[in-house]
Structure 1
Amino acid sequence: MAQNGLVPVTAARHGHQYWKRFTSYEFATNRAGCAIVLQEAPQIAAIFPIVFKEISGGIEPRAILSLTDDMPTPFVSPEGRWLASYVPSELRCHPFQAQPLGQNTPDGSALFQLNVDETSGLLSTNPKDEPFFDMAGKLSPGLQDVQRFLQTRVAARETTLELCQTLRVMGLFEPAESHDGVALPFGSLGISAPRLKKLSAAEKLKLLDSDAFLLIHAHQISLCHFAWLAHAQRQLAEQNSQQKYTENSDISGFLSAMANAQNDDVLGTSGV
């Protein structure tokens, strides 16, 4: 079995299995962050801090859900309810994930492997649940919806990585260790304000035409959330396991006030 329980979805392995849509965000409780794509940057910036991180494929923007790996995120209640008004796209298709293959189809679409987390507790042999495959051996309609969503996100991710490469070539990234006295997660990168001011007119036009400025501005605006996140996590640390925050606490109360509508459609395409 692959690391973290992720294995490719195949007819040979899952042809007679079924799956259930998740009803709890407990799986995200200990997530310190998640990758984001350009199209959802404004929604993310309104709620979460955004930093950049070095990955094997270059540099990607990430929404910070927790300042340290050993602290649960305040964006998930003890009951598994998502407390923010926006669900990052990376979290919407649990237990499925897309593994980009670094290749494109003839029409230019990015190829990816559809994986499933077999340790999620959402796989079953109950015919009342949703099948992985139909009688003809093709992905079931429900799983085709998941695949289409992930295809859209994979394409958006490729565009986002290309923009980040443009920012890197222009020398706009710099190590970001703290903001307003708050220590940032190890390895965080930010946008260099001095370098940004020195960009040539041609460079600025390139960033404007490519929508890279949207990513830059989203990052800059989002930094103000670090202070709130640090405060929220201090509150959580001060409460023992028997006194976790409730619906009436400062933390969940603030987040619930931002949430004008519950995010019920976890497979929707909003923001991607």
Structure 2
Amino acid sequence: MSKVIPLSPSRFAGRGWRRPNNFSFALATAIAPLAAVEVGQAALSMPLAFIQRDDHWSLAAVLGLLPGQNLYVDRNGAWLARYVPAALRGYPFMIGVQANGEPVLCVDEASGLVTKGPEGEPFFDENGALSPGVAPVAAFLTETARSETQLMYACDLLVRAGVVEVWPITIQKDDGAQQVTGLYRIAEAALNGLDDTTHAELRRSGVLGVAYAQLLSMGNLAQLGQLAQARAQSEAAERARAEVKPMITLPEDSTIDWDWSKIGR
């Protein structure tokens, strides 16, 4: 379980952190909200879907088809897609929002990457400023957060224009079919049927590219389905191996001498 708290000298001075060496921390991340600057690259690697976040809409990378499932991370923590969403590249750091609405740099204290002593890289220098290892991560995440806000604005415009609809995705499980909920897509017919005025407004706002990127990305859903099938087969094979019992159980006493000449006679 994560424990995301603001990064402050009072709590983290004299402590250190380590960079993750794989993506095991994202094994349970099924959805990764995107920033505007990464939509094009993400659309070429994975399905993108509109999601509702509080009172706003955003575009997110779909990493799994079930809650707590990330099909782009294998059992060894390796990332299987060509692109890694920016939201995962700054871990264990992330940008939070203070009560006054201002952004604040946070760290997941339960990540296993934060040390209790000075081991690893320091969070702060001797003057209480962000260390040379943390400062670039903070700058990257701050810019990403700004870009996420821009994308939220674009998604809100598309929703208000009436061109976003429920994305009906059904997956087959052992106990029957299950509908994936909470994901939305561009309604292509509605987009093509926009009146000239609304279409021009969306074009001037620069949000049509987001709509087309989402439409393009839906072709990656088949790849996600293949990854799901491969994982299910692998897990089934592991269960089968675990259920296989040895035909002969040798005695625990390894001092017994076996007369192999009489075996089979």
TM-score calculated relative to the size of structure 1: 0.79
Q: Deviations over 1:118-156 (max 9, x none)?
A: 111111145352111111111112111111001111110
Q: Secondary structure at the match of 2:180?
A: coil
1:165 aligns with 2:156: yes
Could you tell me how far 1:204 is from its partner in structure 2?
1.8
Q: Secondary structure at the match of 1:224?
A: helix
Q: Secondary structure at the match of 2:155?
A: helix
1:189 aligns with 2:184: yes
CA distance in 2, matches of 1:32, 1:7: 22
CA distance in 2, matches of 1:204, 1:78: 45
Q: Tell me, yes or no, if the aligned pair for 2:123 and 2:134 is still in contact at 8 Å.
A: yes
CA distance in 1, matches of 2:216, 2:232: 27
Show structure 2 runs of 5+ residues with no match.
Answer: 240-265
Q: 1:142 aligns with which of 126, 133, 143?
A: 133
CA distance in 1, matches of 2:168, 2:99: 32
Alignment partner, residue 232 of structure 1: 227
Q: Tell me, yes or no, if the aligned pair for 1:180 and 1:227 is still in contact at 8 Å.
A: no
Alignment partner, residue 254 of structure 2: none
Q: Deviations over 1:240-260 (max 9, x none)?
A: 37759xxxxxxxxxxxxxxxx
Q: Secondary structure at the match of 2:49?
A: strand
Larger Rg: 2
Q: Tell me, yes or no, if the aligned pair for 2:49 and 2:214 is still in contact at 8 Å.
A: yes
Alignment partner, residue 246 of structure 2: none
Alignment partner, residue 87 of structure 2: 90
What letter corresponds to residue 232 of structure 1 in structure 2? L
Q: Deviations over 1:209-233 (max 9, x none)?
A: 3321111111101111112211221
Q: Secondary structure at the match of 1:240?
A: helix
Q: Tell me, yes or no, if the aligned pair for 1:176 and 1:184 is still in contact at 8 Å.
A: no
Q: Secondary structure at the match of 2:198?
A: helix
CA distance in 1, matches of 2:62, 2:158: 20
Could you tell me how far 1:206 is from its partner in structure 2?
2.4
Show structure 1 runs of 5+ residues with no match.
Answer: 105-110, 245-272
CA distance in 2, matches of 1:141, 1:94: 16
The structure with higher relative contact order (CA 8 Å, sep 6+) is 1
CA distance in 2, matches of 1:102, 1:37: 23
Alignment partner, residue 60 of structure 1: 58
Alignment partner, residue 176 of structure 1: 167
TM-score calculated relative to the size of structure 2: 0.81
What is the percentage of aligned positions where both structures have the same residue?
27
What letter corresponds to residue 21 of structure 1 in structure 2? R
Change (3 A) 1:36 1:86: same
CA RMSD in angstroms comes to 2.4
Q: Deviations over 1:87-115 (max 9, x none)?
A: 110100110110134878xxxxxx41111
How many residues get paired?
235
What letter corresponds to residue 213 of structure 1 in structure 2? L
